[in-house]
Amino acid sequence: MPCRIAVRIQSEPFDTAAEIADIGRGDSDVGAVVTFSGLCRDEAGTLAALEIEHYPGMAEAEITRIAEDAAERWPVSALSVIHRHGRIGIGEPIVLVVAASRHRQAAFSAAEYLMDFLKSRAPFWKKEHRVDGSAGSWVDAKEADEQAISRWE
């Protein structure tokens, strides 16, 4: 059975529970659902929000390519990715990955793979909004995120 892949880029918040419910619906062979939620985090207490810029069109296409790669590597029955853009407050979700499979290890691996590639291959950029109103800087890409990809090769 082919993997159902759904990718959405939106500024609105999303309903994680509804996404989990959707992915299992009408498929009694799904035994495992893994989700990853990436939240807007404030390390130093100075951040008010993040502004997320994206490359419209390419963002959907690239995440879909990553999901298709994951679906080739593991027997997953459905993969959903939602990535937000625009202004995201502290504690709010930025990204949601949902992976459904008969087997838990496939669901875990597919979700982790998707997140690793999404971090450094999906065309999104984060800019800080500071609490004190001063202009924040663009968040630097992390070397650790680039290295995370190499373990899948």
Q: Which two tokens stand for residue 22?
A: 């959707």
Question: Crossing angle of helices 104-121/143-150, nearest 10°?
Answer: 130
Q: Which does 86 bind (CB under 5 to 8 A by kind): its own copies, another protein, none?
A: none
- Name which position in 13, 57, 86, 89 contacts another protein (CB under 8 A): 57
- Name which position in 46, 139, 147, 152 contacts another protein (CB under 8 A): 139
Q: Which two tokens stand for residue 151?
A: 């373990």
* Positive or negative: CA dihedral 69, 70, 75, 76: negative
Q: How far is the CB of 56 from another protein (least distance, A)?
A: 9
CA distance 118 to 4: 18
- Sketch the per residue contact string, 22 through 41, with another protein: x for CB under 8 A, - otherwise: ----------------x---
Q: How far is the CB of 141 from another protein (least distance, A)?
A: 3
Q: Which does 107 bind (CB under 5 to 8 A by kind): its own copies, another protein, none?
A: its own copies
Give CA separation, 95 vs 31, 86, 87, in Å.
23, 12, 13
* Positive or negative: CA dihedral 8, 14, 20, 22: negative
Q: Which does 129 bind (CB under 5 to 8 A by kind): another protein, its own copies, none?
A: none
Backbone angles phi, psi at 64, to 5 degrees: -60, -40
Nearer to its own copies, 37 or 64 (CB): 37
Which H or E run includes 119? helix 104-121
The verdict on 120 binding another protein (CB under 8 A) reads yes
Using CB under 8 A as the criterion, which residues of the chain lie in contact with another protein when the complex forms? 38, 53-55, 57-58, 61-62, 83, 94-95, 104, 115, 118-127, 138-142, 146
